[in-house]
Structure 1
Amino acid sequence: MRTRLAIKFDALLERSFPERRLFLRSDTDTRFIRLRPITQLIGFTGSALVVAWAIVATAILLMDSIGSGNFREQAKRDQKTYENRLNVLSSERDTRATEASASQQRFNLALEQISVMQSQLLSSETARRELETGIEVIQANLRKALKERDSARQDTETLQQANDAAPAANGALAEAGTSVGDTLGFLSAALADTAQERDQISSDAVGALMQADDLALQIKLMRDQNEQIFRQLEDAMTVSVKPLDKMFRAAGMNTDTIINQVRRGYSGQGGPLTPLSFSTQGEEPGADEQRANRILGQLDRLNLYRIAASKAPFANPVHNAVRYTSGFGYRRDPKTGGRRLHKGSDFAGPVGTPIYSTADGVVVHAGWGSGYGRLIKIKHAFGIETRYAHLSKIRVSVGQRVSRGDRIGDMGNSGRSTGTHLHYEVRVDGAAVNPMIYIKAANDVF
């Protein structure tokens, strides 16, 4: 049965692959190799498989090459876009810093104007009170003079009636007539002096009232100016405080806790300002005093925000143009290819690029770190720590206090690294957080 099937199969193959002979001739002999149909089929099949594999492999390589080229072009475009964005953000940051400085200068000038206006207001109020007291004294003297004048008139009329009623009195009364006439002359002169003094007092009172009206107008104008200054200061404080409050909240920091901590721990500067009190008679503060105290409270809060901002890592560790090569989060490890958590942000640039501290703090580590290479750790307030890794040179020492913007090292390629870059970390209470949260939060302020 097998023989018949083999014969039929060979017959079918003979149609497509007839038996062939391959002759091998030498100088002394001639031989041949018989190529049966089954042998030709195996050879053809093997050749077809090799050709198909070559075609598929070539196609895969071509597609991978094309895809890699597109990816590189896309990466270059993304890099260019990111660099342009960084330049724009840097320009905006410088503009915001200039505007903040100008606003602070305007605020200081307005505060000086408030002090001058308040001193003038106090002087005007004192002069007005003294003028009111003088007017009251003049009015009291005028009333007293009028009463004396009326009393003298009554005495004169009484004496005149008595003189008219007794024209033929005895000799003693006739002799007294001369004395009465002298008395009447004296009283008339006294009344004339009193009337003149009354007219003078009345004129002085009218002048005092006019001066009081002028002072009232000046006080009203000063109050209007104070109102305008208060509004400008309140607007300036709103514009200055709100961006800082938004910056801290965007970074995930509780503003009340931060302010209270700075107020408790900061000595020498940043303490609460003494509220204003314009009253010297134990009176309750007025509306202006309350508004001034509110502005001083906001100024104190702005100062505390400024201190807190200098202690938190809101600045960029690299000021030069760099390439942002890797962000915070899970990524493919550049060494092993496995998926691992990247606990910071990478900024690539030339060797020796200056690295700056992003906040005020104390250096707690400055040396070699496993995997980090040359590493700097800086301890900041609020439980924050920043790390600067893979450096080529360290410019600080352990225990040294640094301020924001101080140069602490140079970019390098030390440790577990594939190229020159800065690995920048931010840790809060020991847990790594995304550094870009702080950098982005400060874009609209610094």
Structure 2
Amino acid sequence: MLNRLAYRINGTLERYLPEQRLFLKSDRETRFIRLRPATQAIALAGGGIALAWTILATAIILMDSISAGSGRDQTARQQVLYEQRLNALSEDRDTRAEEAASAQDRFNLALEQVAEMQGRLLASEDRRRELETGIDVIQNTLRRTIKERDEARVQLEAMNVALAESGASHTEAGRAQDALATVDILSQALASTAQERDVMEGAAEMAAARIDTVLAEKRALQDRNNEIFAKLEEAVSVSMEPLDKMFREAGMSPDDLLNQVRRGYSGQGGPLTPLSLSTKGSVAHGDELRANAILSGLDRMNLYRLAAFKAPFAMPVKGAFRWTSGFGYRRDPKGAGTRMHEGTDMAGAYGLPIYATADGVVVHAGWDSGYGRLVKIKHEFGIETRYAHMSAIRVNVGDRVSRGDRIGDMGNSGRSTGTHLHYEIRIGGRAVNPMTFIKAANHVF
């Protein structure tokens, strides 16, 4: 049955594929291999399948190459857009820095004006007290002179009465001479008293005119003080707003932060103390209240400055670099599925300097498993920063570093696929997004 079927198939195919014979000749004998039509058909079918598979595989490879090229182009375009955005952010940061410097200059000028104003105010207070003392002396002298004049008049009347009563024991000539002598004495006393009174009245008029002048100067000085206070209050408000915004966007409570700085403050000078002038038990003057409010704002700005250097509001890399991976869940570059990326990656040249982003103490400087060469810095307010995959470490455990100090070089150590810096910020042991602090710093620095 099978032979018949094979015979029919061969007979049908023989029209298109006639039987072929392949001769193999040697020294002793000659042999041949007979290729039946079915065998030729199977060989042709196998060759066709192989050729089709080759064409299909080549097409797939070409399509993958084309799609990969499109992906690279798209990545390049995104990188260009990202670099343009970074340049814009850099220009905005520079603008903010210039505005902060200008505000600081205005603040210093206003502070000098306040000092000059306080000097003038104290001098005017001294002059006013001297005038008040002089007026009191003049008034007391005038009252004493008037009292002496009244007493002299009373004595004159008493003497006249006594002379009238003793007229029997004296002659008329003696009484006349005594009366004339008494009148001369009283006239001289009255003339002297009147002259002294005129002098005192002139001094009182001059004092009154001087008081009017001093009051006019005081009003002018008060207007000048109000203008200076307004400029100071505006400068403090303008300088304070970006600082408040910086800390709030970083997820930190400004009031709690400043309270911690006050408790740990140990620098020379200490916070600014309120202005205190003697009011003799009366209510404090409005200028004193405004000055104290400005001093309170300056104290808050000083504490903000201290807190800003103790928190990581700076970039760990200052040279040319590019952002490669952000904070959050991502596909693991080593093929370990989806994992949490607890920092921000910045790729740059091998050996690029890495700097501390805030004042602190180095608590780890060495190899740490997947981190490679790792530096950990402990800062105030329960903040810790980490710098991983470095090629070289330039600090030791226990070193106290300041913002901008070089702590190592960029590398590719540990579990890494290329040269980059892995930068982490942790608050209370919990990782937070470093870009929160970097973007918040753009409001001030």
- The bucket for the TM-score relative to the shorter chain is 0.7 to 0.9
| TM-score with structure 1 setting the length | 0.84
> CA–CA distance in 1 between the matches of 2:17 and 2:56?
32
8 Å CA contact retained: 2:245, 2:443: no
**Partner amino acid, structure 2, of 1:318:** V
Q: Please state whether the residue corresponding to 1:201 is helix, strand or coil.
A: helix
Q: Are residues 1:430 and 2:429 paired?
A: yes
8 Å CA contact retained: 1:372, 1:415: yes
How does 1:261-340 map onto structure 2 within 5 Å? 261-269=260-268, 271-279=270-278, 281-336=280-335, 338-340=337-339
> CA–CA distance in 1 between the matches of 2:285 and 2:76?
65
Q: 1:17 to 1:32 in 2, by over 3 A?
A: closer
**1:279-312: per-residue Cα shift (whole Å, max 9, x none)?**
1634442222122222222222111111111111
> CA–CA distance in 1 between the matches of 2:78 and 2:338?
23
Moved more, 91-100 or 150-159: 150-159
Report the CA distance between 1:410 and its aligned residue.
0.6
| TM-score with structure 2 setting the length | 0.84
Report the CA distance between 1:68 and its aligned residue.
2.0
Please name the residue that 1:367 is paired with: 366
Q: How many residues align?
A: 434
**Partner amino acid, structure 1, of 2:250:** A
Q: Please state whether the residue corresponding to 2:126 is helix, strand or coil.
A: helix
Please name the residue that 2:68 is paired with: 68
Q: Please state whether the residue corresponding to 1:347 is helix, strand or coil.
A: strand
Please name the residue that 2:141 is paired with: 141
Report the CA distance between 1:170 and its aligned residue.
11
Q: What RMSD, in angstroms, separates the aligned Cα atoms of the two structures? A: 3.8
Report the CA distance between 1:136 and its aligned residue.
3.3
8 Å CA contact retained: 2:345, 2:423: yes
> CA–CA distance in 1 between the matches of 2:266 and 2:272?
13
Q: 1:204 to 1:427 in 2, by over 3 A?
A: same
How does 1:34-73 map onto structure 2 within 5 Å? 35=37, 57-73=57-73
How does 1:387-406 map onto structure 2 within 5 Å? 387-406=386-405
Report the CA distance between 1:401 and its aligned residue.
0.6
8 Å CA contact retained: 1:23, 1:30: no
8 Å CA contact retained: 2:364, 2:374: yes
How does 1:89-128 map onto structure 2 within 5 Å? 89-128=89-128
Report the CA distance between 1:91 and its aligned residue.
4.0
Q: Percent identity?
A: 58
8 Å CA contact retained: 2:110, 2:228: yes
Report the CA distance between 1:47 and its aligned residue.
7.2
8 Å CA contact retained: 1:270, 1:304: no
Report the CA distance between 1:405 and its aligned residue.
0.4
Q: Please state whether the residue corresponding to 1:362 is helix, strand or coil.
A: strand
Q: 1:45 to 1:177 in 2, by over 3 A?
A: farther
**Partner amino acid, structure 1, of 2:411:** G
> CA–CA distance in 1 between the matches of 2:434 and 2:232?
35
Q: 1:22 to 1:236 in 2, by over 3 A?
A: farther
Residue segments in structure 2 that go unaligned for 5+ positions in a row? none
Q: Please state whether the residue corresponding to 2:202 is helix, strand or coil.
A: helix
> CA–CA distance in 2 between the matches of 1:381 and 1:157?
92
8 Å CA contact retained: 1:374, 1:390: yes
How does 1:68-217 map onto structure 2 within 5 Å? 68-146=68-146, 172-217=171-216
Q: Are residues 1:244 and 2:236 paired?
A: no
